[in-house]
């Protein structure tokens, strides 16, 4: 089955072609980062307008790259939520219209399910059950993946998401948007022993995270330097970046180890934009710290939003028989735990929609 995947939940237009027998055939991504940079974050209206311009040329590009014709496509998968509603609707409308015109099925995919399954695009794909750490600009979650579509939330952030904490701290240090990669690059020049910020909530039981206090600690340290020097030096900023990055990555690693022990599992999957962080990757792969576990990451390009993970997640659901009606549906909020396990789908299930009731946000 050849599935066209369409991702438009935020500021990246991602298109891909995934074949259930041959794997990923082609993918293309247009990032709107430069457009939103002047505003220090994503402007939803601008994001929607840009997606609509990119969708058709990128789809053609991917078909050409894979040497496929439109009649070779068996089904279409698109991100139906959660995300920015205007941005989601551009992808949903395009996907459903294509499906209607081509007489093919289409399926709305949960964006986070896409992230959770992204490591399956790699050789040596992980098999459930496993624990997944999902760390992006909007989410920090530990999830027990019992089967595809069966997700139990083990812990989540009580305030800022990990990526959000990276972005806000980067802004404080005078770095651009998105801040994660820029902060990580600055931290490379930092001295690891200058600052030791706290590892939030590690001394209490449980698997929740809280990163806003850590961000405040960096801010207070920065203000102290400002008082003394007027403007902190490049080395001082790098030391702060290193202290922050060490604290956040240590915290994530400690909670991952605890989650694996709690679930009695030894496979860990890391997903979402912060999964691109090299220091986090190194800590999770360190046997001395983590024990003998099996860790899977998507390639760097598939840590952040992309069409390939949506094509894959849609293909798995379509192959299991899930079908949806013709309505164009998208939702900004959608609980991951409300998804149906693909193991429990009767063959050729006709679901009017897997989405919850629509409510304006």
Taking CB under 5 A as the criterion, which residues in 92-151 touch Zn ion? 136
Taking CB under 5 A as the criterion, which residues in 263-322 touch Zn ion? 305
CB distance 133 to 268 below 8 Å: yes
Instruction: Name the DSSP letter for residue 109.
Output: E
11 binds, among Zn ion, ligand KG4, none (CB under 5 to 8 A by kind): none
Q: Minimum distance between the CB of residue 164 and Zn ion, rounded to whole angstroms?
A: 12
Q: Which is nearer to ligand KG4, 19 or 254 (CB)?
A: 254
179 binds, among ligand KG4, Zn ion, none (CB under 5 to 8 A by kind): ligand KG4
Give the closest residue to 52 by CA, choosing from 100, 96, 18, 92: 92
Q: Which of 18, 151, 166, 222 binds ligand KG4 (CB under 6 A)?
A: 166
Q: How far apart are CA 162 and CA 212, in angstroms?
A: 9
Binding piece for ligand KG4, criterion CB under 6 A, among 22-30, 180-188, 193-201, 221-229: 180-188
The answer to the question of residue 239 lying near Zn ion (CB under 5 A) is no
Give the 3-state secondary structure of residue 114.
helix
Instruction: Name the DSSP letter for residue 6.
Output: E
Q: How far apart are CA 49 and CA 87, in angstroms?
A: 8
Q: Which is nearer to Zn ion, 245 or 305 (CB)?
A: 305
Q: Which of 128, 179, 243, 332 binds ligand KG4 (CB under 6 A)?
A: 179
Q: Which of 113, 160, 167, 329 binds ligand KG4 (CB under 6 A)?
A: 167
Number of helices followed by number of strands (H, E) in the chain: 11, 12
Q: Minimum distance between the CB of residue 316 and ligand KG4, rounded to whole angstroms?
A: 20
276 binds, among Zn ion, ligand KG4, none (CB under 5 to 8 A by kind): ligand KG4
Task: Give the neighbor-by-neighbor strand order of the sheet with 23-31.
Answer: 23-31, 12-19, 2-7, 75-81, 106-110
Instruction: Name 320's Cβ contacts closer than 8 Å, sequence gap at least 6.
Output: 342, 343, 345
The answer to the question of residue 244 lying near ligand KG4 (CB under 6 A) is no
């694996």: which residue's tokens?
A: 260
CB distance 284 to 256 below 8 Å: yes
Binding piece for ligand KG4, criterion CB under 6 A, among 93-101, 118-126, 268-276, 321-329: 268-276
Q: How far apart are CA 224 and CA 208, in angstroms?
A: 30
Q: Binding residues for ligand KG4, per CB under 6 A?
A: 10, 136-138, 163, 166-167, 178-181, 184, 272-274, 276-277, 304-305
């Amino acid at each position: 089955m050849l599935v066209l995947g369409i991702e438009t939940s935020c500021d990246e237009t991602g298109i891909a072609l995934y074949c259930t027998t041959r794997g990923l055939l082609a993918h293309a991504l247009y990032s709107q980062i430069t457009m939103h940079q002047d505003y220090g974050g994503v402007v939803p209206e601008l994001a929607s307008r840009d997606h609509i311009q990119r969708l058709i040329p990128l789809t053609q590009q991917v078909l050409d790259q894979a040497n496929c014709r439109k009649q070779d496509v068996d089904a279409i998968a698109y991100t139906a939520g959660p995300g920015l509603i205007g941005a989601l609707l551009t992808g949903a409308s395009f996907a459903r219209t294509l499906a209607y015109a081509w007489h093919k099925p289409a399926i709305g995919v949960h964006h986070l399910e896409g992230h959770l399954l992204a490591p399956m695009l790699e050789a040596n794909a992980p098999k459930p059950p496993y624990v997944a750490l999902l760390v992006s600009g909007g989410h920090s979650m530990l999830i027990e993946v019992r089967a595809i579509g069966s997700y139990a939330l083990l812990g989540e952030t009580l305030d800022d998401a990990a990526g959000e904490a990276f972005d806000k701290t980067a802004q404080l240090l005078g770095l651009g948007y998105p801040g994660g990669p820029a902060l990580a690059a600055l931290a490379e020049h930092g001295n690891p022993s200058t600052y030791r910020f706290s590892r939030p909530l590690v001394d209490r039981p449980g698997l929740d995270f809280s990163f806003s206090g850590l961000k405040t600690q960096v801010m207070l340290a920065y203000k102290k330097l400002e008082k003394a020097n007027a403007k902190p030096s490049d080395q001082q900023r790098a030391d702060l970046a290193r202290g922050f990055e060490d604290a956040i990555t240590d915290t994530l690693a400690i909670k991952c180890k605890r989650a694996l022990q709690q679930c009695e599992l030894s496979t860990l999957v890391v997903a979402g934009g912060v999964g691109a962080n090299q220091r986090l990757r190194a800590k999770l792969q360190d046997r001395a710290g983590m024990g003998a576990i099996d860790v899977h990451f998507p390639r760097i390009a598939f840590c952040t939003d992309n069409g390939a993970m949506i094509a894959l997640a849609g293909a798995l659901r379509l192959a299991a028989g899930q079908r949806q009606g013709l309505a164009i549906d998208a939702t900004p909020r959608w609980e991951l735990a409300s998804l149906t396990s693909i193991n429990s789908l009767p063959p050729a299930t006709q679901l009017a929609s897997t989405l919850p009731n629509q409510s304006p946000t």
